[in-house]
């Protein structure tokens, strides 16, 4: 076997339809597009959501709710996660940079610390927001919080 005599397995390839190449091809004339109408014309492209003239879904359904442009999205981090991170890396201070380094958040995220779990060490925790239960648990363990 040499490179010059390699070929695909029998039946694994087929020729493309040659459309619009005369009557002898079997696909001449209308070139499989049917007669008249927008779809038979060159340059036609159906609009997104077009349903053949039927009222499209996005117009059948009513408008709904509103978007608050001033909403701030927080990434939630539980106390259990902070405790685990602090014990693994033997940290006294947990900051946003520490959480980014550990892969819990990305650099663009704002962080809110939630109270699920327990803190045994006295830690300094720096974040954008804290829940009341998280705040209470951190201060009860002898740590302190700093809002960024």
Low-confidence stretches of the chain (pLDDT < 50) are: none
132 & 92 share domain: yes
pLDDT of residue 8: 95
* pLDDT tens-place string over residues 119-139: 888 889 999 999 999 999 999
78 & 141 share domain: yes
Owning domain of residue 92: 74-147
In a domain? residue 12? no
* pLDDT tens-place string over residues 3-15: 999 999 999 999 9
How far apart (Å, rounded) are the C-alpha atoms in residues 144 and 84?
Answer: 18
In a domain? residue 14? no
Q: In terms of C-beta distances under 8 Å and separation of at least 24 residues, what long-range contacts does 38-43 make, across chains too?
A: none
In a domain? residue 99? yes
Instruction: Quote the mean pLDDT of the chain.
Output: 92
Kindly report the CATH number assigned to the domain that includes residue 94. Answer: 3.100.10.10
Q: What is the DSSP letter of 69?
A: T
């Amino acid at each position: 076997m040499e490179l010059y005599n390699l070929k695909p397995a029998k039946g694994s390839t087929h020729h493309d339809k040659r459309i619009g190449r005369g009557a002898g091809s079997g696909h001449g004339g209308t070139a499989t597009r049917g007669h008249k109408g927008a779809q038979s014309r060159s340059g036609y492209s159906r609009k997104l959501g077009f349903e053949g003239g039927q009222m499209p879904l996005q117009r059948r359904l009513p408008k709904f709710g509103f978007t608050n442009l001033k909403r701030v999205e927080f990434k939630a981090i539980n106390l259990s996660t902070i405790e685990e991170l602090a014990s693994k890396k033997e940290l006294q201070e947990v900051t946003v940079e520490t959480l980014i380094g550990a892969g819990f958040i990305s650099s663009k995220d704002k962080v809110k610390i939630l109270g699920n779990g327990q803190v045994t060490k006295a830690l300094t925790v720096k974040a954008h927001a804290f829940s009341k239960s998280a705040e209470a648990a951190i201060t009860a363990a002898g740590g302190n919080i700093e809002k960024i």
